[in-house]
Structure 1
Amino acid sequence: MKPFELTEDLQTGIDDIDNQHRKLLSWANFLAADDADTTVQKVTETLDNLQDYVAYHFQTEEQAMDKYGYDKLDKHRKQHHRLLNEVTDLFSRSRGKEASKGTLVELQYMLTDWIQLHIKEWDQPFAAFLKSKNIPSSVSLTE
């Protein structure tokens, strides 16, 4: 299966956000990688890391939105909360059964669809807001 990538149409132009999205996609790709060494333990560790990183990514975005006075912070935060609950539920259900290749591929598709939709509907407008405030693409959002 071809891995999903952060294509140009999914980039925000804000380095920290784009790099975090790449990391999220790399973990989603790992779940469906055609690797004979992929064990249930590795999948569980990846799900744990991915879940933690999703929370970290959302926190990074929300702190930046607050710092720069983004007027849609409350709506974005509610979207993050809803998505984090969905991710937590999805991962819990995935842990509850043997991680078959089909299940992992399905999980990869669900995650990448979710990431793509979130980027286009929520993160790209925030990036446009930052650019309208002349915030450079190299700004560190994690400080």
Structure 2
Amino acid sequence: MPAARAARRLPPTRNDADTVATMLAWQEDLETGIDVIDGQHRRIVDMINQLEAARRAGVQATTMEVLDELVDYTLSHFAFEESLMEQAGYPFSAAHRRVHEVFARRVQDYRLRFEAGEDILDELRAMLSRWLFNHIRGDDKAYSETVKRHLNAITRSPAHAGWLGRTMQRLFH
């Protein structure tokens, strides 16, 4: 990336008092009851907040790095979540995967627009937070009971007794 482009400043931002008001906060109703998934969701919320902080710092290259990290992490989270659903036999895992795919395409479109110089960050942040919270409260909570039952069955089976069972209990409960 050329130095002139890397140092390009983004449009002016609101004052610091607005920053606190616009940062996302984790809410209890977002808990799925699956610790590893909840931890990943919290990390995504943190990354959306990092995207906002990078935007406020005003350097496009830094913002792009945070956006790329957010996209990569979210895609790996989706793969992990989809694997859990499939292993648990969740009947709507294919539909859930399609929701993830549509979302990933939308975010990629935003990324390309940003890379082309379009000021999309406020719109992107609003979409990310709205989509994430609605997705967790709806789609993710819908699979959580099926996955928890499956994980409980695995950790209670004789084949998973001992250290493996204890490790799975710590990761998923």
Same-fold call, TM > 0.5?
Answer: yes
Cα distance change on mapping 1:111 and 1:90 into 2, 3 Å: same
Distance 2:106 2:74 in 1: 11
Residue of 19, 40, 52 corresponding to 1:32:
52
Corresponding residue for residue 102 of structure 2: 82
SS of match in other structure, 2:53 = coil
Residue of 127, 135, 138 corresponding to 1:110:
127
Distance 1:134 1:36 in 2: 42
Corresponding residue for residue 10 of structure 1: 30
Distance 2:66 2:81 in 1: 22
The structure that has the greater radius of gyration is 2
Residue of 61, 72, 79 corresponding to 1:41:
61
Cα deviation for residue 8 of structure 1 reads: 0.3
Count of aligned pairs between the two proteins: 138
State the Cα deviation string for residues 14-73 of structure 1 (Å, max 9, x = none): 111111111111111122228864521110101111111111011001111111111111
Q: Percent identity?
A: 33
User: 1:31·1:107 contact (CA, 8 Å) conserved in 2?
Assistant: no
TM-score (norm 2): 0.70
Cα deviation for residue 107 of structure 1 reads: 2.1
19-28 or 31-40: bigger deviation: 31-40
Distance 1:19 1:43 in 2: 23
Distance 1:107 1:71 in 2: 31
For 1:130, the aligned partner's letter is V
Distance 1:139 1:84 in 2: 30
Unaligned runs of 5+ in 2: 1-18, 156-167
Distance 1:134 1:52 in 2: 26
**2:101 aligned with 1:95, yes or no?**
no
**2:148 aligned with 1:131, yes or no?**
yes
Greater helix fraction, Structure 1 or Structure 2: 2
SS of match in other structure, 1:6 = coil
SS of match in other structure, 2:117 = coil
Higher relative contact order (CA 8 A, sep 6+): 1
For 1:114, the aligned partner's letter is W
**2:140 aligned with 1:120, yes or no?**
no
Distance 1:68 1:109 in 2: 32
